[in-house]
């Protein structure tokens, strides 16, 4: 079957983890009742966005990969026969923490963990204090309902992430997020830019994109929601505003091949010219003198 129904969950997180988890479980079941076969939760779904502040106590929020929360989510995926993407704060070892997402297949098996690669740091986004840059690369998961890739929040802004996932065969790119107000620039909203930048990955790669975000006021930050699903031409198929809710959208994976027959970006890539992108900094090439240029042209 080429058609699959994708579900996204957008909620406001309160102060109590148990309540957030229970609310999320109820929303998962709601999306399944509406036909969802793949469901993605928002970044760090079980708690409020703790990187607003720097505190040693927040390290206690981290969980092992075999934690009770993840085990319960795996069982839920099996019970509902869905693919379930579960972002969580991962404790990998002594003093080693990742911002991660577990991918459960429809039989409840954990297919793997994606760890966030790009870690931001700025006013009230103090993520470098809490998260080590990911070391899992950009895995693609072959699930019961299609091949999927996951990029976590800041990863979603980078076209390189989307390209690598797509080249590996991902058909749907999922981006669990936690993004909202800019404390040092309260007059600016990045919501429109966020939607445009991420949906554009669908155009460049001929894939479907599903981005989910939290919503509402958490301490000093307001998260703007805006979760959406876009098609292979970047068109927004379904979206939410600044309210709690779910999205369930049917997509047809056959559109990927049809789009790539029209927009042949993969065929025309010039990988032999892309070496400079592997450098952190590209120094400007010195301009030749006018005299030197003339010699080169007319010799």
> Which residues are part of the catalytic machinery?
43, 116, 153
Among 196, 212, 206, 271, smallest CA distance to 245 is for 212
Q: Using CA atoms, how far apart are residues 295 and 297, in angstroms rounded to an integer?
A: 5
In contact, 78 and 72? CB cutoff 8 Å:
no
- To which H or E segment does residue 7 belong? strand 3-10
Look at residues 224, 222, 220 and name the one whose alpha carbon lies nearest to residue 53: 220
Unique residue bearing structure tokens 């997402």: 101
Give the per-residue SS3 of 124-166.
Answer: CECHHHHCCCCCCCCCEEEECCEEEEECCHHHHHCHHHHHHHH
- Tell me how long the chain is: 299
Beta bridge partners of 69: none
Burial class (CB in 10 A: 0-12, 13-18, 19+), 227: buried
* DSSP conformational letter for 63: B
């Amino acid at each position: 079957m080429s058609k699959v129904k994708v579900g996204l969950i957008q909620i406001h997180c309160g102060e109590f983890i148990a309540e957030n988890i229970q609310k999320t479980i109820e929303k998962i079941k709601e999306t399944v009742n509406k036909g969802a076969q793949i469901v993605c939760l928002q970044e760090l779904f079980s708690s409020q966005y703790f990187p607003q502040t720097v505190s040693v106590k927040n390290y206690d929020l981290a969980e092992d990969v075999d934690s009770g929360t993840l085990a319960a989510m795996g069982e839920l995926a099996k019970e509902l026969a869905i693919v379930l993407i579960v972002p969580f704060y991962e404790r990998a070892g002594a003093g080693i923490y990742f911002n991660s997402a577990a991918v459960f297949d429809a039989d409840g098996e954990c297919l793997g963990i994606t760890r966030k690669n790009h870690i931001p740091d700025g006013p009230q986004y103090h993520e470098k204090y809490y998260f080590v840059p990911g070391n899992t690369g950009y895995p693609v998961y072959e699930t019961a309902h299609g091949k999927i890739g996951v990029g976590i929040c800041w990863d979603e802004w980078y076209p390189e992430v989307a390209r690598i996932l797509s080249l590996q065969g991902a058909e749907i790119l999922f981006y669990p997020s936690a993004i909202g107000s800019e404390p040092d620039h309260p007059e600016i909203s990045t919501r429109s830019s966020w939607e445009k930048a991420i949906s554009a990955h669908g155009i460049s790669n001929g894939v479907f994109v599903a981005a989910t975000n939290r919503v509402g006021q958490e301490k000093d930050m307001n998260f703007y929601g805006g979760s959406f699903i876009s098609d292979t031409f970047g068109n927004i198929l379904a979206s939410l505003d600044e309210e709690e809710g779910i999205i369930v959208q049917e997509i047809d994976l056959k559109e990927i091949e049809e789009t790539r027959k029209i927009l042949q970006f993969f065929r025309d890539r010039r990988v032999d010219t892309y070496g400079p992108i592997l450098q952190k900094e590209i120094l400007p090439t010195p301009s030749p003198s006018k005299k030197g240029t003339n010699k080169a042209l007319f010799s």
